[in-house]
Amino acid sequence: ESLAFAEEATALLDNMSYIISMLEEHPTSQKEFENQSINFSNKLKKIINSLEETVITQSLTTGNLEGEMEVDLDDILIRMSIKEIKKILDTDILKEDNLKFEMLQSVFNNEFNSQISNLTSNNLKSTISFTEVNNNSGKLVFIEDVLDREASTININREFVRPIFIDDPTVIDEISESIRIYLGGKKLSYNHKSYLIDLLKQTNSDENVFSKKKNDEMINAILKEVIDGNISINGRKSFYEIPYSDRNKKLSLSNLSTGMKSFSILSILKNSGAFNTVEYVILDEPEIHLHPEWQLKYAELIVLLSKYLNIKFLVTSHSPYFIEAIELFSMKHGIEGKVNYYKSKHTQNPNFYTIEDYTQRLSDIYDELAESMFDLQNLRDELELEEE
């Protein structure tokens, strides 16, 4: 009985620790839930602090010489505490599914600044539907920015893949400069930017961006054309070691050009092993910070990363030049059959768009994106006529 009792207490401690870690790693943004969860978390912590040592002691108790079980004040206190723990854990707000739904709501709030529903629609309901490669499907339904659990059809207990989303190369500045906000040593919120910063900080210090793996030779050749020195990250200090410098000069990463930052982010993520833990990388108009020559190098780089590291890239672009570079380098490296091209189109309602597959109509994308060039040419012709 004593052993079973100790095991029950230990299991409860583990369960409490798990729930507290969930609450602190993914705090919720709804005030009522947040306040209650913090109160419950604090209660559980106090019980844990008072129980941890006595549970260990109790588990070692073997009884007196007559074989009778020792019962002391610690035993009584533990049993009373276990009843209290079970009562707290049985509260609806701490049930695991409820916690996970609240955390999912929090993720959307942090990512979209609590503006999830369509602001241009009179319909209060917004739905995100998806179908995965394995044909599993689901949907998330929001009513006035709040997740509707009953209408949503998603397995909340499944494992979710967290993508890397890169939309601003200057995020690399925050490796050195940002002061992250913490609550009790835990992050207050999660969004794609904070996740990317964490990944960039996790690289090994004094990491040379050029590995010696044969599969990396072409990738490293492109990187070396842009980043010919080493990237050194040590704690909150991050530097670019200037090549060919007799005085071992180091330049803060925040002082690199925006174009070099774009390449540096991919270099750090590749060499730290971060790309090995993700399935998707989202790049939002990566070409806008790059010289036309570097746009070509960047396009080839993501094609090679996709091919050799088996990463799915989702790239948005308005540049026919960059899109064509993706197309041609995909053909050059033999993965053109794995690349799809999509275009957003207006529906009858001007506030809504559909996403259509244009893989077999790529020339239509080029023609539409090149219209502005024709407008400039027409303006040039008009100005030349006026001069005559």
Q: What is the pLDDT of residues 68-126, one digit of tens each?
A: 444 444 454 455 555 565 555 555 545 667 777 877 888 888 888 888 888 877 777 88
Q: Are residues 147 and 263 in the same domain?
A: no
Choose one of 68, 98, 128: the last residue of a domain.
98
Assigned domain for 247 exists:
no
Assigned domain for 168 exists:
yes
Of the pLDDT bands very low, low, confident and very high (cuts 50, 70, 90), residue 158 is confident
Q: Are residues 143 and 191 in the same domain?
A: no
Q: Are residues 197 and 174 in the same domain?
A: yes
Choose one of 98, 127, 149: the last residue of a domain.
98
Mean pLDDT of 334-340: 95
Q: Are residues 52 and 133 in the same domain?
A: no
Assigned domain for 369 exists:
no
Helix axes 73-89, 31-59, angle to 10 degrees: 150
Assigned domain for 20 exists:
yes
pLDDT at 182: 39
Q: Quick one: what percent of the chain has pLDDT higher than 70?
A: 65
Q: CATH number, domain at 183? A: 3.40.50
* Tens-place pLDDT, residues 239-288: 677 666 566 677 788 888 899 999 999 998 998 888 888 889 999 999 99
Helix axes 292-309, 320-332, angle to 10 degrees: 40
- Residue 43 or residue 97, greater confidence: 97
pLDDT at 348: 80
Q: Are residues 335 and 278 in the same domain?
A: yes
Assigned domain for 348 exists:
no
The position carrying tokens 């073997």 is: 62
Mean pLDDT of 44-64: 50
Is the pLDDT at 179 greater than 60, yes or no? no
CA dist., res. 273 & res. 92, Å (int) = 40
Q: Are residues 138 and 88 in the same domain?
A: no
Instruction: Provide the domain count of the chain.
Output: 3
Q: Are residues 288 and 142 in the same domain?
A: no
Dihedral sign computed on CA atoms, order 178, 182, 186, 192: negative
Q: Are residues 123 and 43 in the same domain?
A: no
Q: Which domain holds residue 259?
A: 164-205+255-339
272 neighbors 203 (Cβ within 8 angstroms):
yes
| Amino acid code (one letter) for 139 | K
Assigned domain for 216 exists:
no
Q: Checking phi first, is residue 226 left (phi over 0); if not, alpha (psi -120 to 50) or beta?
A: alpha
Q: Are residues 73 and 143 in the same domain?
A: no
Cα 240 to the center of its chain, rounded Å: 25
Q: Are residues 94 and 119 in the same domain?
A: no
Assigned domain for 384 exists:
no
pLDDT at 220: 87
Max CA distance (Å), the chain: 118
Mean pLDDT of 163-192: 67
Assigned domain for 386 exists:
no
Cα 60 to the center of its chain, rounded Å: 44
Of the pLDDT bands very low, low, confident and very high (cuts 50, 70, 90), residue 306 is very high
229 neighbors 241 (Cβ within 8 angstroms):
yes
pLDDT at 56: 47
Copy the structure tokens of residue 43.
Answer: 């209660």
pLDDT at 59: 46
* Tens-place pLDDT, residues 113-126: 888 888 877 777 88
Q: Are residues 67 and 33 in the same domain?
A: yes
Q: Are residues 58 and 25 in the same domain?
A: yes
